[in-house]
Amino acid sequence: MSEELQYLNLIKDILEKGTWEEGRNGKTKSIFGNMMRFSLKDGKIPILTTKKTAWKTCLKELLWFIRGKTNNQLLQDQGVHIWDGNSTREFLDSRGLQHYDVNELGAIYGHQWRHFNAKWEGDGHDYTGEGVDQLQQIIDALKDPAQRTSRRLIMTAWNPCQLNEMSLQPCHVLCQFNVHSGDQLSCALFQRSSDELLGSPFNIASYSLLTHLIAKHCGLEAHEFVYFKGNCHIYEDHVEGAQLQITREPYPFPTVSIKEVRENINDYQVDDFILENYQHHEPIKFKMVA
């Protein structure tokens, strides 16, 4: 059975059983609580196939997180516009961030992953030695056979001390890495808020790519991505596209390989990732809701 059916069945459940709620940014149909599992063995990567997923866009954002970056201009320069709606003058002002320049997103994911709770000084600040480098701590532990089976390999983006310094508070809030059988690396993600049609396909791909990358970097084998969700919702404007997507038959997932092991986790490039056999249905256009 295709693992993608877990996702399609969730969409069906929301459409059939969800309740309509008026939220911060519009009307959504939602349910609370869901879990999915995706194998990463033998290079498999769960990039959804029932609509084309812009996996390179997703990867560029992931590498931006990994490098601790938080300025949207760096993504725009690569043709990535995921964060455009959250970095305008109007949106920043609505969050009380009048002192931020346009495209500055504040103490979001990359800042928390690499400099957790360091005083926010802007994307161009040198944070060396400031805050907690959660990602590097995990990498150091995974490279050490005596530490890699720790049950404390946690990375969190949810920092209550700095939520008001973020243009958008984190949706994918906490992940845990786990090693079993000596070298099998899995990742579990908890996401508080899941935009199922636009966000969820990227979150699945992003954390699966991250797991493959960390496995490669630390001399391990990627095993599984486990996805836990809180509020699972479909925006009112996305219902028609959702109804189309659930009629499509999934294709087998593609595979990914990473060309080489680089010395520093910051040094990996998009061209280091080779995706093979990605067969997919036509794209479905969904409007981004900031």
Q: Which helix (H) or strand (E) holds 186?
A: strand 184-195
**Residue 41: closest CA among 218, 253, 227:** 253
Which residues contact residue 144 at a Cβ distance below 8 angstroms, ignoring those fewer than 6 apart? none
> Residue holding tokens 């093979």?
276
**Residue 37: closest CA among 208, 180, 289, 237:** 208
User: According to the model, what pLDDT value does residue 213 have?
Assistant: 98
Percent of the chain at pLDDT exceeding 70 = 100
C-alpha neighbours within 13 Å on the C-beta side of residue 43:
12
Sheet holding 221-235, edge to edge: 19-23, 26-39, 221-235, 184-195, 172-180, 154-156
C-alpha neighbours within 13 Å on the C-beta side of residue 77:
6
How far does Cα 117 stand from its chain's mean position?
Answer: 20
* Cβ atoms within 10 Å of 270's Cβ, excluding its own: 12
Q: What is the mean pLDDT of the chain?
A: 96
* Cβ atoms within 10 Å of 167's Cβ, excluding its own: 24
- Out of 58, 161, 171, 175, pick the active-site residue: 171
Q: What is the pLDDT along the chain (290 residues), one digit of tens a residue?
A: 799 999 999 999 999 999 999 977 789 999 999 999 999 999 999 999 999 999 999 999 999 999 999 999 999 999 999 999 999 999 999 999 999 999 999 999 999 999 999 999 988 899 999 999 999 999 999 999 999 999 999 999 999 999 999 999 999 999 999 999 999 999 999 999 999 999 999 999 999 999 999 999 999 999 999 999 999 999 999 999 999 999 999 999 999 999 999 999 999 999 999 999 999 999 998 877 76
Told to judge if 218 belongs to the known catalytic residues of this protein, a careful annotator would answer no
Q: Which domains does the chain have, with CATH numbers?
A: 4-54+132-276 (3.30.572.10)
CB 203 within 8 A of CB 191: yes
Backbone phi, psi, residue 273, to 5° = -100, 125
> Residue holding tokens 């979150």?
203
For 175, the token pair is 């992940």
Q: Which helix (H) or strand (E) holds 26?
A: strand 26-39
The pTM of the full predicted model, rounded to 2 decimals, is 0.96
C-alpha neighbours within 13 Å on the C-beta side of residue 81:
6
For 217, the token pair is 């970097």
User: According to the model, what pLDDT value does residue 290 have?
Assistant: 62
pLDDT per residue as tens digits for the range 99-158: 999 999 999 999 999 999 999 998 889 999 999 999 999 999 999 999 999 999 999 999
CA 107, 80, 273, 139: dihedral to nearest 10 degrees? 0
How far does Cα 133 stand from its chain's mean position?
Answer: 18
Cα separation, 62 vs 172, whole angstroms: 12
User: According to the model, what pLDDT value does residue 26 have?
Assistant: 82
The 3-state DSSP class for residue 23 equals strand
User: According to the model, what pLDDT value does residue 42 have?
Assistant: 98
For 64, the token pair is 């931006």
